[in-house]
A and B are shown apart, each in its own frame.
Chain A
Amino acid sequence: MALPVRRFDVIVVGAGGSGMRASLQLAEAGLSVAVLSKVFPTRSHTVAAQGGIGASLGNMSEDSWLWHMYDTIKGSDWLGDQDAIEFMCRMAPKVVYELEHFGMPFDRNPDGTIYQRPFGGHSANFGEKPVQRACAAADRTGHAMLHTLYQRNVRARTQFFVEWMALDLVRAADGEVLGVVAYEMETGEVMVLQAKATVFATGGAGRIFAASTNAFINTGDGLGMAARAGIPLEDMEFWQFHPTGVAGAGVLITEGVRGEGGILLNCNGERFMERYAPNLKDLASRDVVSRSMDQEIKEGRGCGRNKDHVLLKLDHLGPEVINKRLPSIREIAIKFANVDPIREPIPVVPTIHYMMGGIPTNIHGQVVAPSGGDPNAVVPGFYAVGECSCVSVHGANRLGTNSLVDLLVFGRSAGDFIVAQHLDRAAHRELPKDAGDLALSRLARIDTNAGGEGTAAIARDLRDAMQAHCGVFRNHELLSEGVRKVLEIEQRAQKVTLGDRSRTFNTARVEALELDNLVETAKATIVSAAARRESRGAQARSDFPERDDREWLKHTLWYREGNRLDYKPVNLKPLSVEAFPPKARTY
């Protein structure tokens, strides 16, 4: 079937922080750019980021991008690529100042500079003491940033396709990416959006787990599309558990609470982080804090009737600090935990929060995959930025605040790189005859299946399986049983049956399409986790408790075809400074 085609210089899929930072660069350079988003741009999940943007402005005390770089490498448990980490930490102050110039309502210091707060794993002088590096707009930094970027895109007249879902990539026979097939939710229409460069900024996939801080829309759509197009996914075993999700509800409580002085307590009222991380204590990096909390709960020192959570105490900060610096946290605690943190502690548990892995890229946002002996050969025409990408700056564990700076730095960098290609002078290639086939066959499958289960039941079982088999602590038995379950669920997902056949705003169809992407992401995650026989960053194996640099200082690559794994070396060579060689990681 011949689909209608619309042509642009560049298509950006996703209108969160990285997508809109990229589109801004492109639109301001005069390229024709279309941004697709499943939701109105300001509803993208960047909006939920709370604590801050990491950048060594040094507004509170001395700071340096080199210290930020060291903290990031150490936080990554040496799995991060040091060229990309240097690039990001050096660029961080510049992109934060730019954001301020765009109108971002940062909190301010008495001297008028941007307010910065302490955050987990951020230190001065290579781990010596905590440093205030997180540039904050109260506890609504992501909201303020996303709205500012949208506003700036309105000014640049960026063209948005709101409530459009990309279904699959279009690739030429030689592998060049030529755009996407997309679905307009309001009308049910399908169209090819052709471009000379296609940028994925589709965000995370936390919805593969049952307990997640992530929004409903975080279903790994970019990962599913890339995987189906034969592109590998990198380091998917590394998922961050945020230490402080509201127990039961999963809603995020920012690390900024601990940055402002909040502490974690077990059922004995003990500040247990002093035992696990004597130096940075509650502000150790997230994998360390989450594991410590889990350990406390496992050893019977959890709180509440079921001893299944710990407490986040902040009443000692006083109402003034809470109302000024953490107003939304108070609102969330009252609404979702039934406690007013001015008086009582908040019950919290480690909760899935962030995907360190993703579509492999270089620092220009170009997607790379092994080819002809080069582990990082560029896939022409294809870019990925933000959480869906793996550049890799976060390695095995992301530092708090580094997600927002990642969005800004690499969104901008990809935009700049594409602008320098002078795409407006290039012609569109001819589309292959089968351009729409993959997407149309998925739609046809979903629309004609009968007698299978609905999306909700299958997705619930997938989430429960991932939660039970791919959690904070992992081992061989759990993981191999989990792989088996996930592959079984994949078979059920193939037969998913729609209970709604309407063309008009059919959210059931959208959820069924998302299910395919959840399944690919879950497979990549658990297969990669089962294969990595070591503990590093967010991957904690009780059967392999040590980091093993001799065998495992390498990136995982998962391919959908054959459910197969490959590996590539970590880049331990920064761009201009001396390397930080792996060493023991203590906080």
Chain B
Amino acid sequence: MKFRIYRYDPEKDGAPRLQEYDVALADTDRMLLDALVRLKAVDETLSFRRSCREGVCGSDAMNINGKNGLACTTNLRELREPVELRPLPGLPVVRDLIVDMSQFFKQYHSIRPYLVNDTPPPEKERLQSPEDREELDGLYECILCACCSTACPSFWWNPDKFVGPAGLLQAYRFVADSRDQAINGRLDDLEDPYRLFRCYSIMNCADVCPKGLNPNKAIAKIKDLLVKRAV
């Protein structure tokens, strides 16, 4: 199978380049990550992140034939050749397919990604109805792979000021939690021309999410709550 892979080692390369590979695959090689592991056995310099190989850890997000996705859950048979692999767009490249995710995590940390509830907890669990719990479905499953935020033009332009779809999805995960007491503070923090309102519903986020989540929908709900709060 033929590949064209973005290569850049700051110690050796003045500029990034695309390297062609042709690799013989085994019958058991099913996913793109299997092919990458096979390539690395031949060329140890090829660098990428990977861990769980089943789509829950979020390590191996990359740009695959122009679209962000996880190498471990992308079936090789669905890929047009030569398969072109590039690092996630919009973040600084450390080496090859490895990007510096600091800015992405900084935005995630900025939304206070933890439950706020200052009432002393009961001896047992805090009760939550199944209906209230259902509000968290489609939100808590995020694996922080950054496919969505790095597919978002608004995040490309303002990664320092716009929270981005992944961070906003998590912001809404806590707004929507019946146990959280900081909803007003959370909304105040997002009522800002950049942090929330740089989202123009381009919908790339929902299009690329490997877990089938829809950040755009969560963002719309935050906007709704802001409107309701204003009137």
Q: Which residue numbers of A lie inside 8 Å of B, CB to CB?
A: 39-40, 42-45, 47-48, 57, 96-97, 100-103, 105-114, 137, 140, 143-144, 147, 151-152, 154-155, 186, 215-217, 248-249, 251-252, 328, 331-332, 335-336, 454-457, 498-500, 502-508
Contact = CB atoms under 8 A, between A and B. Distances in A.
Interface residues of B, number: 58
B53 A216 contact: yes
Contact of A151 (B54, B95, B113, B127): B113
B133 A111 contact: no
A456 B115 CA distance: 43
Interface of B: 9-12, 28, 30, 40-41, 43-45, 47-59, 73, 75, 94-96, 98, 101, 105, 109, 112-115, 117, 121, 123-130, 132-133, 136, 140-141, 143-144, 174, 177, 179-180
Contacts of A502: 9, 11-12, 45, 95
Contacts of A45: 51-52, 57
Contact of A215 (B53, B101, B144): B53
Given A144-B140, A216-B53, A507 B48 contact: yes
Nearest to A43: B57
Given A39-B57, A45-B51, A154-B113, A113 B127 contact: yes
Nearest to B211: A331
Sorted nearest first, the 3 A-B pairs with minimum C-beta distance are A103-B115, A112-B127, A499-B44
Contact of B136 (A105, A151, A154, A499): A105
A100 B126 contact: yes
Contacts of B58: 42-43
11 contacts: A43-B52, A43-B58, A44-B57, A45-B52, A103-B177, A112-B127, A144-B140, A249-B30, A251-B53, A332-B54, A508-B44
A112 B54 CA distance: 32
B125 A106 contact: yes
Given A40-B101, A103-B114, 12 more contacts: A43-B52, A48-B56, A57-B125, A108-B130, A108-B132, A108-B133, A151-B115, A154-B113, A216-B53, A504-B11, A504-B95, A505-B98
B210 to A, nearest CB: 10
A215 B57 contact: yes
A251 B54 contact: yes
A499 B42 CA distance: 9
B10 A504 contact: yes
A128 B125 CA distance: 28
A323 to B, nearest CB: 11
B126 A504 contact: no
B129 A102 contact: no
Contacts of A112: 127-129
B81 to A, nearest CB: 21
A561 to B, nearest CB: 32
A364 B44 CA distance: 42
A101 B43 CA distance: 48
Contacts of B40: 456, 507-508
A143 B144 CA distance: 11
A249 B101 CA distance: 29
Contact of A335 (B44, B75, B112): B75
Contacts of B132: 108
A152 B143 contact: no
Given A45-B52, A154-B114, A216-B53, A111 B30 contact: no
A499 B114 contact: no
Contacts of A48: 52, 54, 56-57
A112 B179 CA distance: 12
B179 A103 contact: yes
A155 B115 CA distance: 9
B125 A100 contact: yes
A147 B140 contact: yes
Contacts of B45: 499-500, 502, 508
A152 to B, nearest CB: 6
A101 B41 CA distance: 46
Given A97-B123, A454-B41, A216 B50 contact: yes
B141 A140 contact: yes
B55 A43 contact: no
A269 B32 CA distance: 34
Nearest to A143: B56
B141 to A, nearest CB: 6
A42 B123 contact: no
Nearest to A93: B124
Most chain-B CB neighbours within 10 Å: which of A57, A102, A504? A504
A505 B87 CA distance: 14
Nearest to A110: B130
A47 B127 CA distance: 25
B73 A498 contact: no
Contacts of B49: 39, 507
Contacts of B48: 507
A47 B94 contact: no
B143 A40 contact: no
A335 B41 CA distance: 25
Contact of A504 (B53, B94, B105, B179): B94
A505 B95 contact: yes
A506 B46 CA distance: 9
Contacts of B54: 48, 251-252, 332, 336
A101 B121 contact: yes
Contacts of B114: 102-103, 151-152, 154-155
A335 B140 contact: no
A502 B121 CA distance: 51
B133 A507 contact: no
A151 B179 CA distance: 15
Contacts of A101: 117, 121, 125-126
B127 to A, nearest CB: 3
Given A101-B121, A109-B130, A140-B141, A335 B53 contact: no
A177 B30 CA distance: 45
Contacts of B53: 215-216, 251
Nearest to B141: A140
A498 B117 CA distance: 51
Contacts of A106: 125, 133
B46 to A, nearest CB: 9
Contacts of A96: 125
A86 to B, nearest CB: 21
A105 B133 contact: yes
A392 to B, nearest CB: 27
B127 A456 contact: no
Nearest to B52: A215
Contacts of A217: 51
Contacts of A508: 40, 44-45
A16 B27 CA distance: 33
B26 to A, nearest CB: 11
Contacts of A332: 54-55
Contacts of A154: 109, 113-114
Contacts of A505: 47, 94-96, 98
A114 B130 CA distance: 10
Given A39-B51, A112-B128, A335-B75, A107 B101 contact: no
